[in-house]
Amino acid sequence: MMTTVLQVAIPVLGALAVALLVLGVPLRWPAPLLRLTARDTELAGEAAEVFGWNEVSPTAMILAYVGSAAVIVLLAWLATGSVMLGLVASPLGALLPKMIIRYLLKRRWKQIEAQLPYSVDQIVSAVRSGKPLGTAIGMVADTGVAPASREFERIAREQKLGMGLVDALDRHGRSVTSLHFKMVDAALGLFARQGGDISEPLTEMSKSFKEIWKLDQKITTSSSQARMNFTVVNGGAVFMLVMIFLGQPELIDKVFSSMIGIIVFIIGLVLYAIGFFWMRSMMRISV
């Protein structure tokens, strides 16, 4: 009975969720649920800037969690034949949207670091033309290229709300993850405190950022073959395991039917995990 209900409910709920997203139907979610997903919705809005979107609605975020949990239930049900095990594993569905958001946020900051030198050049041009530093930052926020301009917009917004420029820069520098942006915030904050000619230091900083970005691109290009080998080796192992599980599940049963097989499987899994993270750490090169 439960199996039949799930066979009908999952496609119907999936089609309904897609229809709600496509039609943009406003939904009134419970306040506790909105508070629970508020932070992830905000982060998803930042991550969506990679695709040129301004924000992600709470409805889209909640439906993403529901859809991810439904996929986990379906996969666990197909793999084990147990509906209850799938329902127990459904909270793991919250991990998939978080992983996607984290990945897109990393892409966003890579885009920001690539755009940052040109944003700094805009500030230098505005300051040399006689504009105050706060006005120069506002000009970058209004006319700059997203997503870098969005970060300067946050600083400009803090000023509009009554916060001083120095405090706004300090607060922004503590919230960003980019070391390059932290350096820009520190330099701008120092100039805002002490005054002086900031054009020359910012120009040299912009040149350094451009050289660092070029070097990073060279390293990424030269290590592309190693990253491809990493993907093939690890993806191939997982693919073979899935094929064996689907094609000859009795082999999996033989492995787990004895204590020796279980021990060998655990040892192999540990060695695989060590090799995976070791190779991954070797390919991480920060400039």
Sign of the torsion formed by the C-alpha atoms of 210, 212, 214 and 217: negative
Give the span between the Cα atoms of 142 and 229, in whole angstroms: 43
Question: How large is the average pLDDT for residues 19-23?
Answer: 59
More confident residue, 227 or 56: 56
Band (140; pLDDT cuts 50, 70, 90):
very high
- Range name among 108-122, 134-148, 234-248 with the lowest pLDDT average: 234-248
Q: What is the pLDDT of residue 155?
A: 92
Q: What is the pLDDT of residue 96?
A: 86
When the candidates are 1.20.81, 1.10.3470, 1.10.10, 2.30.29, the CATH number that belongs to 110-213 is 1.20.81
Above 90 in pLDDT, residue 152? yes
Give the span between the Cα atoms of 37 and 54, in whole angstroms: 18
Count helices and strands in the chain by DSSP H and E runs: 13, 0
Mean pLDDT rounded to a whole number for the chain: 80
Above 90 in pLDDT, residue 13? no
- Range name among 100-114, 147-161, 179-193, 262-276 with the lowest pLDDT average: 262-276
Q: What is the pLDDT of residue 118?
A: 92
Give the span between the Cα atoms of 252 and 32, in whole angstroms: 43
| 136, 156 Cβ separation under 8 angstroms | no
Above 70 in pLDDT, residue 3? no
Residue owning tokens 């139907």:
25
Question: What stretch of H or E contains 145?
Answer: none
- 17 token code pair: 């969720």
With a pLDDT cut of 90, the percent of the chain lying above it is: 14
* Domain boundaries defined on the chain: 2-106, 110-213, 223-283
Question: Which amino acid would we find at residue 107?
Answer: R
Of the segments 51-60, 144-153, 258-267, 273-282, which one has the largest average pLDDT value? Answer: 144-153
Above 60 in pLDDT, residue 200? yes
Give the distance from CA 158 to its chain's centroid: 25
Length of the chain: 287
With a pLDDT cut of 70, the percent of the chain lying above it is: 84
Question: Which amino acid would we find at residue 120?
Answer: V
**pLDDT, tens digit, 9 for 90 and up, residues 98-128:** 888 998 998 999 899 889 999 999 999 998 8
Question: How large is the average pLDDT for residues 63-90?
Answer: 75
